[in-house]
Amino acid sequence: MLDIYQFRQHMKTLYEADMSNKTVELWGKNLDSILKQASVELQVPVNGLSYEVLVRGTSGILSLFFKRGWCLLVYPSADYTRRKKGRRRLRADGSEEFEGEQEIVKNGDFGLKLSKDGHIYLRVLPPEGEGAVPVNIDDVNKQASSLRAKLSIKDDELIKIIRNADQKWHAVGDFMHSPQADSQIGVTISEDDMKVQIVLSTPGVGGSTPTAEEMAEAMLHAGVFNGVKQDVLEQLENHPVFRTPILAAEGEPPKNGKNTHLKCLFETGSGLAKAVNSKDVHMDLKSGSNIQNVETGTVIAEVIPPSEGKPGRTVRGDLLPAEDGHEEELPLGSNVILSDDQTRVTAAVDGQVLFIDGLLSVESVMVIPGDVKNHIDFVGTVLIRGNVEDGYNINAKGNIHIDGTVGRSRLTSGGDIYVVGGINGDKGSVDSEDEEHQVFVKCGQSIWAKFIQNCYLEANNFVVVSDGILNSEIIALKKVLCKGRRAAIIGGRIRACEEINAVSLGSVSGTPTRLEVGQNPKLQDEFAELTANFEAKKSELGDLEKSIENWRNVSRTKALPPDKQEKFKEILRSHKELKEELDAMAAVVEEKRVNLENSAYNAKISASSRVCVGVTVSINSAEYTVTNEYSRAITFIEQNGLVNTASYEEITDDISKKDEPLL
């Protein structure tokens, strides 16, 4: 059988708990008695507690007719225990854990006991951490009064003990010990042998208060061998609570093993799961936490095999069996692959990780059921069932399909962009220095829209419009095709490599409209930028040469001082470096010019109904501005360096293939 020392050591080893996050709901006849009980159960001094009143007890004249106790929700004060130098992190299952260093801030505490040797003992614990409050002499005297103990030492000696706070027991008074008046220890074990409560009787005159060892021994004699809360006993020794049951031991319930399950390596975006089924979801994607973009082959989850159960024990030490986990079918949905060794789950497509209907899936299409409410950045295809109003960024690696209209926003797609209702943007704002006010539409393939108005737009293939283009700047590396009853191009600058075709070009009011085909617009822009930079460097070189000539003229009349000579040498070095840079740039400019000339297309510009005055047609290096309206179907081509007219050529490309939504 264990002796009392071995029993205490065993209990300390088993006792592991973090009390800082606990709350207790307690009843009592008054606030003081409840807070004392909570102090024991939470192992926090009374001055380190905060509470909320759940039920207010009766007082005053009402207590003459009926009595009602108080009920409090008690918890450690914020300044008693707090975490520092760390952060909270969400686990895959949605629970929180704390990462980083932890600093516990505790106010000072003390213990006051009446010993069987007839002495009154005081032990003071120092405060811990910055901002913690030390023990107050008034609190010590108040507890001594509640124990009917009279301290015999002087106040200055008592203050010295409190200040030293050496955690040792000091004799601070005497009393006439009467063993028959000692506080008695009652032990009650629950029917399921999982909880033990102890109750201390109020000591009589001359009676002592029990020590933690005596309480532990009483529990041992009652048959309690497991789960003793040693810290509770020590707190109860320091701050005795009488005639109140105190939870002093708890058994360990069995923990069944977990079945086969998935450990997700990405947040599964419960908000996004709603986006698939809900009509009123508001996407908040600026933080980047709602969409978990993954690429094909990315490991998105680990398979955790079944675990063994952990048996429990009652307070009497009896074993409580636990069940082991067992194999279960994994909740795998669409576009995921289980590895051959059954240990990993990988993405079969680019997309977002979601739990839909309880199954882990990777969705290559992101569905927004209504208007866009925030920015979107997605590696797959985005399907928007509403509008994209002003001020939003939509970025998709795949396609973008919009059932409504697009306002002053930025759309970027690696594939096609299909806008059922058309685009009304802000022409030219793509060059705004303020990034938030840049507006554009760019795609890696083709763009289909009902109309395009006041917009900057780029497409690596086709731009296809059914109603027309108004006051826009458009770049298409293949064709711009407008086919429909009102398919006109009015105003702006439209550039394509191969063809521009519409029902009518320009307006009767003579709105300036510039149409360019035959050369790659992006290569043209690169060449223009390179040429402008080259000319600026040439101008800079000319300024340096003038400066050098001036310095040389001065040096012919008188010798330059050392600092001026050094400055002159620096100018000569800059001239040499800039000349070498210009020589290299000249070769690049010539190469770009040759490439641009060699990339000329057999291009054309056509109108099936009318070409108005004010339209400028540019084909390769040839240019022509319409001064007399063409009221017939016509095609412009380039011949021998001039723009000529020819019979109208119909649109031959299949532009109806994207009339259906992407899903």
For 410-457, how does the pLDDT look when each residue is reduced to its tens digit (9 = 90+)? 999 998 999 999 999 865 454 544 444 457 899 999 999 999 999 999
Q: For residues 297 and 351, what is the distance between their CA atoms, to the nearest angstrom? A: 11
| Low-confidence stretches of the chain (pLDDT beneath 70) | 1-22, 47, 52, 58-67, 77-104, 267-291, 426-438, 656-663
pLDDT at 175: 87
Burial (Cβ within 10 Å: 0-12, 13-18, ≥19) of residue 249: buried
For 124-160, give one letter per residue: b (16+ CB within 10 A) or e.
Answer: bbbbeeeebbebeeebbeebbeebebebebeeeebee
What global pTM score does this model have? 0.55
CA distances from residue 2 to 231, 318, 586 in whole angstroms, order as listed = 20, 16, 96
35, two tokens: 């807070």
Q: Is the Cα dihedral 90, 91, 95, 100 positive or negative?
A: negative
Bridge partners (DSSP) listed for residue 207: none
Listed residue (438, 430, 472) closest to 455, CA to CA: 472
Residue 470 DSSP class = E
Q: For residues 417 and 277, what is the distance between their CA atoms, to the nearest angstrom? A: 24
pLDDT at 345: 93
Kind plus residue range of the DSSP H or E element containing 273: helix 270-277
pLDDT at 600: 75
Coil, strand or helix at 100: strand
pLDDT at 90: 41
Q: For residues 268 and 359, what is the distance between their CA atoms, to the nearest angstrom? A: 11
Q: For residues 531 and 525, what is the distance between their CA atoms, to the nearest angstrom? A: 10
Bridge partners (DSSP) listed for residue 157: none
CA distances from residue 584 to 523, 527, 532, 533, 621 in whole angstroms, order as listed = 19, 15, 15, 13, 26
The answer to whether 351 and 364 are in contact (CB under 8 A) is yes
pLDDT at 511: 92
The answer to whether 61 and 99 are in contact (CB under 8 A) is no
Q: Which residues contact 343 (CB under 8 A, 6 or more apart)?
A: 302, 303
pLDDT at 103: 61
Listed residue (514, 458, 461) closest to 491, CA to CA: 514
The answer to whether 55 and 73 are in contact (CB under 8 A) is no
Q: What is the largest CA-CA distance in the chain?
A: 127
pLDDT at 19: 42
Coil, strand or helix at 460: coil
